[in-house]
Every structure is written in structure tokens, then in C-alpha cells.
Structure 1
């Protein structure tokens, strides 16, 4: 496929956001079903693939591509990955924890996909909060709080599914403080460079992330 044909194909898909919404919905829905089934290990092993697919779909349905989008992803990936590296190797920022090999290839003990996941969560949260007619500081603070609350949902499920393991199997309060600090910096950067978020699937992806971890908390952890 030539670059022109590829561009045409992407534009045709982009014009039909329902396709992206259905793909994301199907993957998260069947992910929940699969993890709760006897084939849970197979579905858990596909987590990195699911996150990668979500990232690609999110990019496809971004209305406009710009340098601010590239800088946003780069900053988010780097600060998120660096924070995780310091946490895994030195117990800084989040506390003492390790990543097994569940989430795929690693650098310095941190799965590469984790940097992408930081962008997925913060970009989707920003797509919900930033368009609101609020004071800029209030939007950044509220986006930060929402991101931390999402992590509250994620942590018990992540440990149960062996995404990462905390020392003594306890999530320290330091982790949530760390999430607040890193998220706050990311949202400040998004706002500072005036990231334009016009994305038909971002809010749907955010909803499915919340639904995914909420249901697994109820049915897997309880």
C-alpha cells in the first residue's frame, strides 16, 4: 500500500468514528468477559496489545495532527516512564513495586507500554475536562483528581492480574500522591502548549477504562 493509499484509507476510516467506537467497545467488553472466564491468562497476556490498539485508534480519530500533539505525547511518555523507572528501581515517587513480564517488553524494569498508558489516560481525561467553560486552574486540578480516582480503580485489579506487584501487597498512599503530582504536571503541559483535543473516541475510551476496572473490582476482587 502506497503512502497516498494509506492516507486515503485512514481518512475514510476517520470519517466513520462509529467504527473506532465499536472496535474499542468490543475489545474492552470481551476483555472483561475473557478475564472472568477460564481463559483469563490468554486475555491478560493480550493487555499490551489492547493498549497499543487503543492508542492507534485514538490517534486515527484525532481530528487534527499538530506539533502540540507530538510534544504532548513525548512529554507525557517521558515523564510517565521516568517516574515509573524511579519508582521501580529506587522506590521514589510512587513507592516500592515491581513489574513482572505481563505487560510486555521492558526497559530498566518498566514496560514500554506504560508510557503509552500514561498518555491514554491523561489524554482521555483532558478530552472530557478541558472543553468545559471553567477556570484553567480548576480544570487542571479537576483533571488531576479524576486521574487519581481512576488509579484507585486500577490498583486492586492490576495486582490481581499481575500487571505490577507492590511491596507487602499494599498500595501506599505515596502512590496516589505520586499520581497526583505527575498528572498535574502533564495537564499543566497540555494546557501550556494549548493541546487541541478534538477526538470522537477519546471519551468512549475513557468510559470503557472506568467500566473495565469498576466491573473487575466488583466481580474479581470482591
Structure 2
């Protein structure tokens, strides 16, 4: 297979977002079933892989690649990771919690994949909210609120699956305030740099993230 033929195949796949949607649907759907099955531990161990795959598919189906996209990713990753580092090591921003080894390779007690997770959520939310014909500050506020609501779904499941653990085994209000602050800063930066948000897979990915945590809240969390 020569380079031209390979590029043609890639372009054909990229022009068919249904393929990416099917892959995401399969991974999240069977992820739900797997975590609710006797093979729970095996599926939980694959969480970092699933997040990495979701990120690669999201980037693959991005319409425009630019420095703004790169800067947006780097800012989101760094501010998200830094906030988590301050939380884990000093109890700042989110509260007192720790990360076990469930989410893979760590730096300073924080999984390297966690910055990717911040980008997946905020990019997908921004891709849905920012195109609306509203005042930019209202868009940022709505995106921030939606992100915090998503975290309400994530937190109980994360504790149940041992993604992270709170010192008192209770989710503090400080955590949600922290999520609101960090999300607001990220969305504000996205708005300033005019992050390119045309992506054929972002809505599907966001919907499945919500379905995933909503289902596990319903059937797994006691």
C-alpha cells in the first residue's frame, strides 16, 4: 500500500463519522455491561485505554487543525492537571482525595490521563454550547454549569470504581466549586482563542459519556 492510497483510505474513513460513532458506541455500551458483570475488574482496568481511544477518535474527526486547537488542548491539560496536583498533594481547589493506580501512569500522584479527560469533557461541551447564538459570557456560564452537572454524575461512580477516593468518603461541596472555577477558566480561554469546535463526533461522545455515568449511577452505586 503506497502513501497516496493510505491517505485516500484515511480520508474516506474521516468522511464517514458513523464509523467513529459506532466504535465509541461499542466501547461505552459494552463498557457499561462489562462493569456490571462478573468481569468488572477487567473492564475497569481498561478505563485509561478507553479515554485515550476516545481522544484519538475525537481528534481524528476534527474538521480544522490549527494552533488554536493545540493551545486550547495544552491549556486545558495543564490547568486541569495542575488543579488535580494541588488537590491530591495539598487539598486545594477540590478538597482532600487520592488517586489509586486504577487510571494508569501517574506523575506526582495524578494520573497522566486526567488532563485528557478534562479536554474530552470541556471540548465536547463547548462544541455543543458555543455555536448557539447567545452572549459569549452566557455561553461560558451554561458550559460551566453543564460541566459541573456532568461531574455530579461522575463522582459517585468514580468512587465506586476506585478511580479516586475522598478522604472522608464523602464528596465535598468544595469539589463542585472547584470544578466550576476550573471549567470557567478553560471555557474562557477557549472563547478568547476562538477554539475550532467543528467536530463530527463530539456530540456522540458527550452523549455516551453522560449515558455511561448515568447508567452506572442507576445500577451500580448503592
Structure 1 segments of 4+ aligned residues over 3 angstroms from their partners: 1-9
Q: CA deviation at 1:6?
A: 5.2
Which string of whole-angstrom CA distances, capped at 9 and with x for unpartnered residues, describes residues 182-204 of structure 1? 00000000000011211111011
User: CA-atom RMSD, angstroms?
Assistant: 1.2
- 1:215 is aligned to 215
Report whether the alignment pairs 1:45 with 2:50.
no
Query: With structure 2 as the length reference, what TM-score do the two structures score?
Result: 0.97
- Structure 1 residues 79 and 5: CA distance shift in structure 2, 3 A: farther
Report whether the alignment pairs 1:144 with 2:144.
yes
Cα separation, 2, equivalents of 1:122 and 1:213: 16
- 1:71 is aligned to 71
- Structure 1 residues 15 and 109: CA distance shift in structure 2, 3 A: same
Any gaps of 5 or more consecutive residues in structure 2? none
Counting matched residue pairs gives 222
Which string of whole-angstrom CA distances, capped at 9 and with x for unpartnered residues, describes residues 34-76 of structure 1? 0000000000000000000000000000011111100000000
Any gaps of 5 or more consecutive residues in structure 1? none
Contact kept, 8 Å, 1:48 with 1:103, in 2: the verdict is yes
Query: With structure 1 as the length reference, what TM-score do the two structures score?
Result: 0.97
Which string of whole-angstrom CA distances, capped at 9 and with x for unpartnered residues, describes residues 106-150 of structure 1? 000000000000000000000110010111000000000000000
Which string of whole-angstrom CA distances, capped at 9 and with x for unpartnered residues, describes residues 83-104 of structure 1? 0000000000000000000000
Cα separation, 1, equivalents of 2:5 and 2:154: 40
- 2:27 is aligned to 27
- 1:96 is aligned to 96
- 1:122 is aligned to 122
Q: CA deviation at 1:13?
A: 1.4
Q: CA deviation at 1:8?
A: 3.6
- 2:178 is aligned to 178
- Structure 1 residues 4 and 187: CA distance shift in structure 2, 3 A: farther
